[in-house]
Chain A
């Protein structure tokens, strides 16, 4: 039973989060930051999520390739 639950959880983790959980965490943080800027500070922060997405991708690629060249 535990093994089934574990493999079920592992499947969904792999399906949604994938190889790098930090990318997912950064996207979620960027969305939270965007919502705060829009609703609390009144800033139309449309630029934040794309910038964080590009940075997250670069960071993830850097870590995946560091030392492999």
Chain B
């Protein structure tokens, strides 16, 4: 279990970010429309996601390890770099921070305006589809992370445990406070996940291409901090140039970094 801890923790953090976004949509549907239809939509989406994990998870582990690492590594590196790109742009103030509170208000306004109609045994079709789509779309990223990390580490069970823990923790917290988790430093979490996805993707992708890493698996202990340092350096550089150009133009730039206490806040 100790050996699987890094895997469980990585998947837990990555999945918690997605679960927070899904929770916002589910709360908007449940609190403004109807809980029964919202839960039905959520349950249907979770069933679809479980089926995808069961089918893809068992299929992907049949692939030769080299091919698996090459494909999965490439996908993870691409995925991770996109996450890092967004997180750095947000931290530097070039992109608005993802605001769960305003996302929640937008969903609530749309949910209040939609008419109620019963369909296929569901009392409120709007609440059902809103909840279904929200959980399915955010859940697909969870599934992607669970399958790629689990298959590569030959420990799909540990990856599933990490994802399930994240969903349970976020869901319980959300339903206790009955509000979107707006105070979670989402950009900092996304930054951390981007670093992990990029590091693991680079490591596995290069291994799949035939590379032997100096130090073997221990190379990851160097790769992760290096990716983190370079990414933090890019964020600091962009934030500084943004602030300088804002000062030169006489306007105050958006200081997303300070709002979050930086990416580590």
Contacts and interface: CB of A to CB of B under 8 A. Distances in A.
A69 B241 contact: yes
Interface of A: 15-20, 23-24, 27-28, 31-32, 34-35, 38-39, 44-46, 48-50, 53-54, 56-58, 60-61, 64-65, 68-69
B246 A31 contact: no
Interface string B241-257: 11001100100000000
Given A38-B210, A57-B234, A65-B89, A20 B82 contact: yes
Contacts of A39: 210
Contact of A20 (B85, B94, B211, B238): B85
Main secondary structure on B side of the interface with A = helix
Interface residues of B, number: 42
Interface string B77-110: 1110110111011001010000000000000000
A58 B202 contact: no
B140 interface: yes
30 contacts: A15-B140, A16-B78, A18-B82, A19-B82, A19-B86, A27-B205, A28-B74, A32-B209, A34-B211, A38-B210, A39-B210, A46-B212, A46-B213, A46-B219, A49-B206, A49-B211, A50-B226, A53-B77, A53-B81, A53-B227, A57-B81, A57-B230, A57-B234, A60-B85, A61-B88, A61-B89, A64-B85, A65-B89, A65-B242, A68-B94
B198 interface: yes
Contacts of A18: 78-79, 82, 85
Interface of B: 70, 73-75, 77-79, 81-82, 84-86, 88-89, 92, 94, 140-141, 198, 202, 205-206, 208-214, 219, 223, 226-227, 230-231, 234, 238, 241-242, 245-246, 249
